[in-house]
Amino acid sequence: MNDISRAYRRMDSVRTDSPRNDSPRTEARQTRTEGEHSRVATTQGTSTARSAQLSTASTSETTAKAAELVNSLVTLPWGQVSPSVYETGRVVALAPWLSGHERRISFLLGNQRADGGWGLSDHGYALVPTLSATEALLSVLVRSGRPDGAASDGAASDGVHDPGLHEAVTRAAARGLRRLRTLLTGPTWASPPDGEAVPDMPAIELIVPYLVERINGHLAALPASFPPPDRDGAASRDGLPLPAGMDGAKLALVRELLKSDARPPKKLMHALEIGGAAARGFAGTGPESTGAIGASPAATAAWLGDRPPADPSTPARWYLETVASMHGGPVPVAYPLTVFERGWVVSWLIRAGISVSVPPEVVLSLTSPLRPDGTPTAAGLPADADTTAATLYALALLGAPHRPDPLWNYETPSHFCTWQGEEGASTTTNAHVLEAFGEFVATGAAARGDAVDVRRCEATVEKVTRWLLGQQGGDGSWTDRWHASPYYATASCVLALERYGGSGAADAVARARAWVLRTQRPDGSWGRWEGTAEETAYAVQTLLLTGGPPEPEAVRAAARGRDALVRGLSRPDGAHPPLWHDKDLYHPAAIVRAAMLAALHLLATTGAEHNKE
């Protein structure tokens, strides 16, 4: 028996029962390894009957909330995700005819920061949303004819003609321009003051030149009275520069590709808006079953154009209407996210030992999209190794293991790419690949094939383990291209390595745990910029799901994070900072809620929640 099988926490038999509505549901329940039993039995200061009663009440509460969350996956099948400043700005600019236009403008105005920018205050993460929101507001002024009021011919129906709203739009656009001059010409891109690289966001090298081009076009079209002078009397109509190290050459090549008969990569459809005029009605794509182009409101708006479609029944139009109505006007950056959301939610909950009853349609939605090349995050996107691996892992935890063969499409000599032709590499994609192959071996599913299957899967586990160990930072953490926080990347890597990486990963796991302990904030939370419930959930899981019986210091540290988790569960989704990478940062509410519930459940089942001191 190899290290994986010895370390594996095997599920009990998976049973299908019939609840009151007579709909069969898959109920997955895990037993624990000997080490995990020790973690649960570690009760420093919690051995009284009162503590046991409190822990029982806490686990019952988290289990009930987890059941509500799993049910919401069915009642909200497209997913639960925050609106995006970038994507909403694109819909304002590209589809002003769409219902809720003024609500989207108000969303942009209401989310502008005091410094004139949008998004996180971190310079790198502020650039794209600030460019998009500023360009969108300028487009409103251009359509209305004058930055200070009435439309040029009174006939346009896509401008904003309320004087008060126009004044607010004018001021906000001017402030956005001033902020952009700092973001684009300061040290952030050429030589970041903290030595960190520019955020690795999808299509950023295309989106930034595209938006700068549009803003400069608007500045040339607006009258000389815009922008109004700032408090110091300064005003500049000069066009914006591109950041150091970035040019428009790649954007030009992509636009030529769109104009040709060649078929562009499918992943490009997610950012089709950068194609400009070539995106409108682009013949190389069309609405998916959801009505979307590239699983993106912005791409769909660009494909339809800036006037209502001639065919009022086109699915693309009703995709936009649906998404906008779901979010009260603003729109998310990628939608729907059915497979992605369900795979992550199920995995977080079951891995933490929460007994969940999963509706069969959730299992079906995970297994039916699997193809020989894997499964995509959403219809309109290419299949990718990350979503495929997470789906395979979730299915295994649900007692419905599927062969991991689709993942071979993404194997490179050293690691697994997220998709073919990926520039860079993802640590969390490889952590999820490790879980998928490790689970397949540990459950004995691989042994049901031939000996070659077993050897190849075991060799893959060893290969991915080596690569992940080599990506660990000197401080013990990991970072990743799909999330802004090192706590997410570290939790993803260390949980996979702890369970499937064998004894050779023990030192890396210990260093990761030490890093988590060192970086806890005075209020008990964890976070890259500030303490957040999401990042605290990842830190708590790192401490309580790894390293054998937790030492008292780790138990106390995890317990001190409980208040942040409880506050996080009570906050509305919009109050959580977006930390997940796409064209803009976004907050996948159901996934994050699952991570918080998992952490709270671990605190209760280990007795840690009563050991703050």
Please enumerate in sequence order all residues whose Cβ is within 8 A of that of 271, keeping only pairs 6 or more positions apart, or say none: 202, 203, 206, 207, 294, 296, 298, 299, 583
> What is the pTM (predicted TM-score) of this model?
0.89
Sheet hosting strand 15-17, strand order edge to edge: 15-17, 25-28, 356-358
Domain 338-606: state its class.
mainly alpha
pLDDT of residue 17: 36
pLDDT of residue 238: 84
pLDDT of residue 195: 43
What gap in Å lies between CA 113 and CA 552, rounded to an integer? 42
What gap in Å lies between CA 159 and CA 432, rounded to an integer? 47
Interval 12-63: pLDDT, tens:
323 333 333 444 566 654 534 444 444 443 433 333 444 444 455 678 899 9
Q: How confident is the model at residue 121 (pLDDT cuts 50, 70, 90)?
A: confident
Would you say residue 85 has pLDDT above 60?
yes
Average pLDDT over residues 543-571: 94
Please enumerate in sequence order all residues whose Cβ is within 8 A of that of 85, keeping only pairs 6 or more positions apart, or say none: 107, 108, 111, 118, 119, 129, 132, 133, 584
Question: Domain coordinates of the chain in residue numbers?
Answer: 85-145+160-327, 338-606
Domain 85-145+160-327: state its class.
mainly alpha
Q: Are 118 and 126 in contact (CB under 8 A)?
A: yes
What is the chain's mean pLDDT, rounded?
87
Of 170, 176, 150, nearest to 161 by C-alpha is 150
Same CATH fold assignment for domains 85-145+160-327 and 338-606: yes
Interval 356-410: pLDDT, tens:
999 999 999 999 999 999 999 998 999 999 999 999 999 999 999 999 999 999 9
Interval 256-297: pLDDT, tens:
999 997 889 999 999 999 999 999 999 999 999 999 999 999
Q: How confident is the model at residue 7 (pLDDT cuts 50, 70, 90)?
A: very low
What gap in Å lies between CA 446 and CA 2, rounded to an integer? 13
Within the chain, how many helices (H) and strands (E) appear? 23, 5
- Kindly state the tokens that stand for 35: 């080490």
Of 180, 165, 172, 175, nearest to 216 by C-alpha is 180
374, β-bridge pairs = 371
Q: Are 85 and 111 in contact (CB under 8 A)?
A: yes
